[in-house]
Amino acid sequence: MLLFIFQSFCLLVYSTHIFMPLNKTPPNSRAGIASVYIPSRLSIVIFGGYSDTLFFNDLWNFNITTLIWDEIYTNSESIPSPRAFYGAFSSFVTENLYVYGGKNPEIIKNDLWEFDFHSLRWTLIPTINTPSASLGFTYTYYIRNFIEYFAIFGDENTEIIEIYIYILNLSTFEWEKQIDKNDYFIYSAYGSMIYYKECFYLTCGIAYDTLILETFKYCLDEQIWIYITRFILLILMKKIIIECFIKDLFIKSFIIYSQDHIHRISLY
């Protein structure tokens, strides 16, 4: 079963229905994408994805004011290879777009690319202590002590014995593996993770081909995983959307939707 999780820093839409018109050559239908909101452009940006056996590496902009799609053309000689199921975020500081990892029919990637909306150029960013390529990882971007970070966790490969959180410092572009003092093994793929008050909150998506929602938190100072709760769903869900509510850049709760269930997890 494919699980599509759309993670963002929350786009709040204040109407019952919004029609996204099919003018201005919208992108092909595709899966395995991440959507990133760019405040200064009032736009949602998507990159790549796949449809059937075709993988993409194009970049699209959807303006939430004009409701128009535009393809963003790059001035770069080198651009990311076609891919899906990657991680993506935009910097709170520069609003540059970052794309990490993903897969195509040939290979699973662990490279990092940066796109500058002013110069319209892609740049391959070398990183230090880069973790092995993984598929189905969950990720989050956050700022701690005035430094930007990007964190990943999880893998679709069920033969992996140990899974760690890896954190990329966006000032030094060096990865750091986070240990678990409890030796508490968590298997996760296609989940969702956010950062809040020195901890990561993880809601798993798929475990050994089974859709299970378990919620954990990992505290950076204590370096331990803590089990929070479990939801057992009695229906086969076609899609899960995990959405976070943000007020003054502090995340207050998860809202988890299924076909006929709504769950709220308070982070207090």
Tell me: the pLDDT tens digits for 192-214? 899 999 999 998 778 777 777 78
Nearest CA to 29 among 50, 55, 59?
A: 50
Q: Averaging pLDDT over each range in 20-24, 113-117, 160-164, which range is the top one?
A: 113-117
Q: Is the pTM of this model over 0.85?
A: no
- Top pLDDT among 175 and 22 is at 175
Whole-number CA gyration radius for the chain? 18
User: Lowest-pLDDT range, 43-52, 67-76, 107-116, 204-213?
Assistant: 204-213
Q: What value does the mean pLDDT take over residues 222-230?
A: 84
Q: Are 109 and 102 in contact (CB under 8 A)?
A: yes
Distance CA 86, CA 139 (A): 10
**Domain limits, the chain:** 35-266
Lookup: tokens for 203: 């809601």
Task: Give pLDDT tens digits for 67-84.
Answer: 999 999 999 989 999 999
Per-residue confidence at 5, pLDDT binned at 50, 70, 90? very low
Element (H, E) at 87: strand 87-90
Query: Looking at the domain covering 35-266, what would its CATH class be?
Result: mainly beta
Question: What is the identity of the amino acid at 183?
Answer: D
